[in-house]
Amino acid sequence: MMTVVDREQLRQNSTGTARFVGAEHGAGVSFFWVDMEPERGPDTHWHPYTETWVVLRGEAEIVGDGEERRAGPGAIITVAANTRHRFRSSGAENLEMICIHASPEIIQEFV
């Protein structure tokens, strides 16, 4: 079986971020397709599984368990399960990034 979903169908809010929950589409992974204005991003949270980010455009500032990194287009960042983390769009243009959750459901706890 094969399914095709348009990104526009998955948009969550006015920021442009799309949310794909794998279980709803027969997939073993979930993801956020982020399109976020500078200086914006989620508060600190964690997941019981690994999260991998692929930066497509813009710049991200990522903090994980006190460690800070900056990443631009082409960067791939992985955060281990149970790591408290957050990211911010830190460049002059919108951050476009795929946030892959190694789970068919998105599970996140904000701290």
Domain CATH code at residue 44: 2.60.120.10
Return the closest-CA partner of residue 60 out of 93, 109, 15.
93
Return the closest-CA partner of residue 31 out of 100, 110, 108.
100
**Whole-prediction pTM value?**
0.90
Per-residue confidence band for 14, with pLDDT thresholds at 50, 70 and 90: low
- Check pLDDT > 90 for residue 96: yes
For the segment 49-80, what is each residue's pLDDT rounded down to a tens digit?
A: 999 999 999 999 999 988 999 999 999 999 99
- Check pLDDT > 80 for residue 27: yes
In a domain, 79, yes or no: yes
SS3 string, the chain, reads CCCCCCHHHHECCCCCCEEECHHHHCCCCEEEEEEECCCCCCCCEECCCCEEEEEEECCEEEEECCEEEEECCCCEEEECCCCCEEEEECCCCCEEEEEEECCCCCCCEEC
In a domain, 18, yes or no: no
Per-residue confidence band for 46, with pLDDT thresholds at 50, 70 and 90: very high
Domain of residue 62 covers 27-102
Per-residue confidence band for 11, with pLDDT thresholds at 50, 70 and 90: confident
Instruction: Report how many domains make up the chain.
Output: 1
Contact call for residues 93 and 57 (beta carbons, < 8 A)? yes
